[in-house]
Structure 1
Amino acid sequence: MTNRYIPFLKLKSSEILAIKELSDELKENFVPFFDFPRQKKNTQLAFKSTTEKMVRSMSSHLKENFNFYLDNFDIDSILEIDSINNYAYLLKSFSEFNVIPVVSIDRCAEHLAAVVDAKSSGELSSVVFALRLVPEDFASYDAVADEISDALIEIFALFDSVDLIFDCRVCLGQDLKQLKINIVEFANDFSKDYPLRKLIVAGSSIPASIRDVAGAESEVELTRPELKIYKSVEKEIGQIYDVVLGDYATVSPFYSELDIMPEIMQNVTAPKIIYSFDDQHYIIRGGALKTHQRGFAQYFDLAAVLVSKNFYRSAEYSFGDHYLSEKSLGIGKNVTPSSIVKPTLNAHISYMLKDFF
């Protein structure tokens, strides 16, 4: 199976477990992208604790030579761990895996040096690295060509090729036609100067606050603009380049855990389930967990509505679909905002790998 899809995930336990539950066939040639999650406390201790936990989780649940992209997009570059740059610490910590390092033109010199040092020392076995660009970066190749050359000259010398990531972030409200034009023109110009392995066109339709697209106690079908961008790029230059789709699955790129008391969180949090089909996200939400008469049991009710839809794919389709089927029948423990992540991610990734293309 050719991998044409890369989910962009937070490096968290639920995400790792969602991948673990994929079928063996789907995991073959599957290469996810992990962003180290923003911490409630931006401290050395918190960073080290999370890193150690994630290394253990991967070692326990995924095969030793598991291949993935690893970035620290959400982490302050000035944070040092044991007197070294935090990305250098990540690369050392995950050296037993096949990590594809990620750089960008806005990363600090220490981040770029960490990739050079890890490759030179043998900590990195990958022959490819990824260059991640956001819309302001890829608006014009000419505007950043010198910056790319100056910042990445040592890295290009050490690797055989590069995966060029066009990370459109949340695509709602953006000019999709212009994004496509910028991506195509940038890719064509970039490929004249550097050995390009693949183009990854990534984005999301889920904003930081789900309330911006779905109110409490409502259900909506949300068209996914990131898919329109990918399809238009693939249609125009897919015969020239290996164009791969990336998305943020069922979690917003801007997701972060709010540093507030759990009891207060229940007053403002409403349960939600996001389920993908065709070019849509189906989003269903309940009322505030603290004040709604059904409380956490609302998840059972939401699941029952979901599985009654004609786009629900059956309990046998994936681990996540089976979980939702059971919850629709009220089977098992109560669901929480944390525990719903693993099955909904698994259901989404399974669909994207099996039937989207």
Structure 2
Amino acid sequence: MNTTYFPILKALTAEFTALENTKPGNAENIIPLFELPKVPDRKKYRESSTPITEFIDDTSEEIGRLWAGKNAMFDAYHWSPAATNEQGEHIIPYAYQALELMGVKAVPVVGYDRWSILEYQMALQSIARTHKGKFCIRLDHTAFEDSAEPDFFKANLDEIISLLELDPANCHVILDFEDVTPLGATDLIDKFESLFNLISSYRFMSFSIAGCSLPKTINEAVKKQNSCGVVLRKEMLLWRSARQRFPQFPIYFGDYGVRGPHSNEGIRSPNTNGKIRHTIDKEYFVARGHSLSKPPKGEQMWELAQKIIDSGRYLGANFSWGDSEIHRCSTKKFKGNAGQWIAIDTNHHLAYVVAEVAEFERVTASRAVTVEG
């Protein structure tokens, strides 16, 4: 069964906390892609003469602490494709070496969108010369656009495979839809099939679908302050459709956790609303408060946590660390800041998705046996 889950997570404190508190039984079903954010605006890095190097070292150390001995993909999607550290070394091979030193089974990600940049090609070639493990090719909006010209798209993909001397049988492919909020379910399926039909003959090891249905701001998800609403997780519906349409292929589920690909990376806003994004079957159940700068400020989280518990969607404090924190908050044991709630929401999300994927695969397998019988 395709029970492995491939989330794309920001390599930031909140996501690290979520993973640190993930139950071992769930963690073994997760292969994360850690997205290296830009260097945070912290005193340590502001005062450093080598902030990029130090940040990558610190981030790799955290990933190693949590994920040593296990596969972890890594990418620097939001950096310049030619970005280097203070010593002039490209950040991709530097991060690769740093992760390997920490004992992580680092899986380099090849970004289709950046492949035309010579410095980026050379950086990945330097890794490919000695890397013995798996590779990943990330196909994003650029690939989806290029798929309208199949010959052009395939020429680019063939060049990636050739210049890096990749064995497709040892390569995972992510079809990354990024922000799917503007797209309908039918549009997503059509886009998926158009691209997947072009790559299905390459005999890649495995595939995953990634996307995020959460809008950039909470007021786009739940219009009214101090109320609750649901957001359809279209990426989950797309994956289920893909599994049913192409059952012979190992197509896995992936997403962006509880914050989208272009959300603020640890940037504090005075207008941040209190909110809990609680993952449920095919949806997010969102409890929205109001600006944390207005009374009762952080104490509003006590009521929001109680709304989650009273919603009929709460699975109990024992389901995950995140759920136990929701229960603690409802009893006024703590309020939590924005980063802590990203960690809590992400932890519940990871646990829920692992269970959701396993259940879908179990039911699908059961139906297949019934049909064959």
Query: What is the TM-score of this pair, normalised by structure 2?
Result: 0.85
* 1:129-278 matches, cutoff 5 A: 129-139=135-145, 140=147, 141-157=150-166, 160-192=169-201, 194-215=202-223, 216-237=225-246, 239-257=247-265, 265-266=269-270, 268-278=271-281
- 1:319 equivalenced with 2:321 (yes/no): yes
Residue type at the aligned position of 1:130: C
Q: Secondary structure at the match of 2:127?
A: helix
Q: Name whichever structure is richer in helix by fraction.
A: 2
Task: Please give the alpha-carbon distance, in whole angstroms, between the structure 1 residues aligned to 2:346 and 2:331.
Answer: 20
Picking from 99, 112, 117, the partner of 2:106 is: 99
In structure 1, the partner of 2:56 is: 51
Picking from 286, 291, 294, the partner of 2:289 is: 286
Q: 1:329 to 1:38 in 2, by over 3 A?
A: same
Task: Please give the alpha-carbon distance, in whole angstroms, between the structure 2 residues aligned to 1:74 and 1:232.
Answer: 30
CA drift of 1:18 comes to 1.1
Residue type at the aligned position of 1:138: F
Residue type at the aligned position of 1:234: R
Task: Please give the alpha-carbon distance, in whole angstroms, between the structure 2 residues aligned to 1:175 and 1:304.
Answer: 32
CA drift of 1:342 comes to 1.4
CA drift of 1:190 comes to 1.8
Unaligned runs of 5+ in 1: none
Q: Deviations over 1:250-298 (max 9, x none)?
A: 1111112376xx6xx33x111111001111101111111112x211111
Picking from 285, 306, 310, the partner of 1:308 is: 310
Q: 1:21 to 1:213 in 2, by over 3 A?
A: same
Q: Secondary structure at the match of 1:115?
A: helix
Residue type at the aligned position of 1:89: Y
- 1:66 equivalenced with 2:73 (yes/no): no
Unaligned runs of 5+ in 2: 361-373
Q: Secondary structure at the match of 2:339?
A: coil
Q: 1:112 to 1:49 in 2, by over 3 A?
A: same
Residue type at the aligned position of 2:96: L
Q: 1:258 to 1:161 in 2, by over 3 A?
A: closer
Determine what percentage of the aligned residue pairs are the same residue.
20
* Contact 1:207–1:254, Cα closer than 8 Å, also in 2: no
Q: 1:98 to 1:341 in 2, by over 3 A?
A: same
Q: CA RMSD in A?
A: 2.3
Task: Please give the alpha-carbon distance, in whole angstroms, between the structure 2 residues aligned to 1:227 and 1:158.
Answer: 29
Residue type at the aligned position of 1:72: A
Task: Please give the alpha-carbon distance, in whole angstroms, between the structure 2 residues aligned to 1:18 and 1:104.
Answer: 26
Residue type at the aligned position of 2:177: C
In structure 1, the partner of 2:332 is: 330
Q: Secondary structure at the match of 2:276?
A: strand
Q: Secondary structure at the match of 2:235?
A: helix
Provide the aligned length of Structure 1 versus Structure 2.
344
Task: Please give the alpha-carbon distance, in whole angstroms, between the structure 2 residues aligned to 1:211 and 1:45.
Answer: 39
Residue type at the aligned position of 2:190: I
* Contact 1:203–1:248, Cα closer than 8 Å, also in 2: yes
Q: Secondary structure at the match of 1:222?
A: strand
Residue type at the aligned position of 2:152: A
Which stretch shows the higher mean deviation, 214-223 or 308-317?
214-223
CA drift of 1:160 comes to 4.3
In structure 2, the partner of 1:12 is: 12
Q: 1:289 to 1:134 in 2, by over 3 A?
A: same
* Contact 1:38–1:256, Cα closer than 8 Å, also in 2: no
